[in-house]
């Protein structure tokens, strides 16, 4: 349902992200991921408005920032997101982070997200940065089958095994943000060795590893050459031994850990 390879847009704003999104769509990307916190929804929206690709063939994700988690602010913020993105509805609306210190009750914002869905502001709903306990509680609140994905940091050095297992048990897809570990995959000897064997890049190997696992990957870049290279990773086939070798790189090396983050599983 969610295109397995998408374009992440974190930390890129203005004309630069408009150009990148346009180039990505021209290359063949059909999944664009943004967020209210990125302050680039309007810039992404310009690219979406300029493309000749039919809206039904694009999958657009945004995320509700934790300052908008009360019922009416959440709904109003998603309306603004749709306006900025120049779409009638987003395909996927996520809770970007659980409410810090449970300031807003989980029931409040998950039920509000369901209401936003019923109002047609988002076609599907999901969460981001949810550890297993919160994920299970959120699933109970909205009912099985309603949470489409949990978007979490996931790359060869931070494999989030507990979250992966919980998602599988709940039939929730896993989306990996920061799949290239802010470039660290390019420095790893194992990934570089596998890349040489495939006449590929270490980044392509890291993306292919995720895709082989059925995980959605949303790498970001500002370079057209990397856009194309990341997209071409979909054609890379890894052996079982190579997959195992990458699995063994896990060292729970978390990169994203703000002071308002929830209690992680590992």
Residue with tokens 């299970």: 136
Distance separating alpha carbons of residues 200 and 118, to the nearest angstrom: 44
Pairing of strands 147-153, 122-128: parallel
Catalytic residue among 29, 38, 109, 177: 38
Residue 38 is among the residues annotated as catalytic for this protein: yes
155 is in an annotated binding site: no
Sheet holding 59-64, edge to edge: 7-8, 31-33, 59-64, 90-95, 122-128, 147-153, 173-177, 216-217
Centroid of chain to Cα 93:
11
Nearest partner of 49 among 75, 93, 82, 91, judged by Cα = 82
Helix residue ranges, H only, 119-248:
132-142, 161-170, 189-197, 202-212, 224-232, 240-247
- Angle at CA of residue 122, ends 84 and 164, nearest 5°: 110
- Binding-site positions for substrate read 96
Residues noted as catalytic: 38
Q: Which residues belong to the annotated binding site?
A: 96
């Amino acid at each position: 349902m969610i295109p397995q390879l998408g374009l992440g847009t974190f930390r890129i704003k203005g004309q630069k992200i408009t150009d990148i999104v346009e180039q990505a769509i021209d290359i063949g990307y059909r999944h664009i991921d943004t967020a209210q916190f990125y302050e680039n929804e309007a810039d992404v929206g310009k690219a979406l408005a300029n493309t000749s690709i039919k809206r039904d063939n694009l999958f657009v994700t945004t995320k509700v920032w934790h300052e908008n988690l009360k019922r009416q602010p959440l709904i109003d913020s998603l309306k603004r997101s749709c306006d900025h993105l120049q779409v009638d509805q987003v395909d996927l609306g996520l809770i970007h982070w659980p409410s810090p210190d449970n300031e807003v009750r989980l029931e409040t914002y998950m039920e509000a997200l369901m209401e936003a869905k019923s109002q047609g502001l988002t076609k599907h709903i999901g969460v981001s940065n949810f550890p297993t306990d919160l994920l299970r509680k959120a699933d109970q609140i909205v009912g099985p089958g309603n949470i489409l994905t949990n978007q979490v940091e996931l790359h060869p050095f931070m494999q989030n095994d507990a979250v992966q297992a919980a998602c599988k048990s709940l039939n929730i897809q896993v989306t990996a943000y920061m799949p290239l570990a802010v470039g660290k995959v390019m420095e790893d000897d194992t990934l570089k060795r596998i890349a040489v064997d495939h006449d590929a890049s270490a980044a392509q190997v890291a993306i292919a590893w995720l895709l082989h696992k059925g995980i959605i990957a949303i790498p970001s870049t500002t370079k057209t050459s990397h856009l194309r290279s990341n997209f071409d990773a979909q054609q890379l086939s890894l052996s079982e031994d190579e997959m195992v070798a990458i699995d063994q790189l896990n060292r729970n090396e978390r990169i994203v850990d703000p002071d308002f983050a929830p209690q992680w599983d590992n």
